[in-house]
Amino acid sequence: MSPASDGRHTPAPDLNTSGTVGTLFRSADLAGAMEVLLGVWDEASLEALDRVLARTRTTGDEVAVAVLEDPAGGASVADLERRVRERLADHDATVDVRTPSGHPGSALVALAEREGFDRIALGGARPSPLGKVQLGPVVEFVVVNATVTVTLLR
């Protein structure tokens, strides 16, 4: 079964993905500036923004943020976009903010591939009450379907 919840306009999971999961600050292959696309769709995923911005100050990476629909029906895209822009202003960062519509996972993957980003970065892995790592449907979809490298920030 597809990790996508509605299955209407999403491609089937491609198990031959070249995407990998790593930890942003540990990978040895991160030398050199890259174009990074950060996906934001809820509170937990928004928390990754500060870390990505902090990292760009040392690497010179170019970051863009894609604000996506929350599959859990939480905050609206407009509300999230406003909060992303507030944080960017706090960091005094000039960052491209995009709002691709549609299924969040496929919209993010399509944008990254269409515009040639080197890497997709994702937060949003929340611990369960017991401390288990929980990857939501957006993370699962992107990891399985992206053909660019995916970095999961935990």
Partner 1 sequence: MTVPDAPADSFEPPPRRFSDREDRDIAIERYDGDREALVEMYDAFDPADRAQGIPPTGERGLREWLDAITAPGCLNVVARHDDGVVGHAVLVPDEADGSELAIFVLAAYQSAGIGTAILESLLGLGSEAGVERVWLTVERWNHAAIALYETVGFRPRGEPGFELEMAVDLGASDGQDGL
Instruction: State yes or no: residue 19 binds partner 1 (CB under 8 A).
Output: no
Contact 123, 45 (CB under 8 A): yes
SS3 label, residue 108:
helix
> What is the nearest approach in angstroms of partner 1 to the Cβ of residue 105?
11
Binding of residue 73 to partner 1 (CB under 8 A): no
Whole-Å CA distances, 82 to 41, 46, 75, 87: 12, 12, 11, 9
In angstroms, how far apart are the furthest CA atoms of the chain? 43
Q: With binding defined as CB under 8 A, does residue 89 bind partner 1?
A: no
Which sign, positive or negative, has the C-alpha torsion 56, 80, 139, 99?
Answer: negative
Candidates 83-91, 93-101, 134-142, 145-153; binding stretch for partner 1 (CB under 8 A): 134-142
Q: Indicate whether 128 belongs to the interface with partner 1 (CB under 8 A).
A: yes
> What is the nearest approach in angstroms of partner 1 to the Cβ of residue 127?
8
Q: How far is the CB of 117 from partner 1 (least distance, A)?
A: 24
Nearest to 38 by CA among 118, 122, 102, 113: 122
Does the protein bind partner 1 through residue 133 (CB under 8 A)?
Answer: yes
Residues contributing to the site for partner 1 (CB under 8 A): 1, 3, 5, 127-137, 140
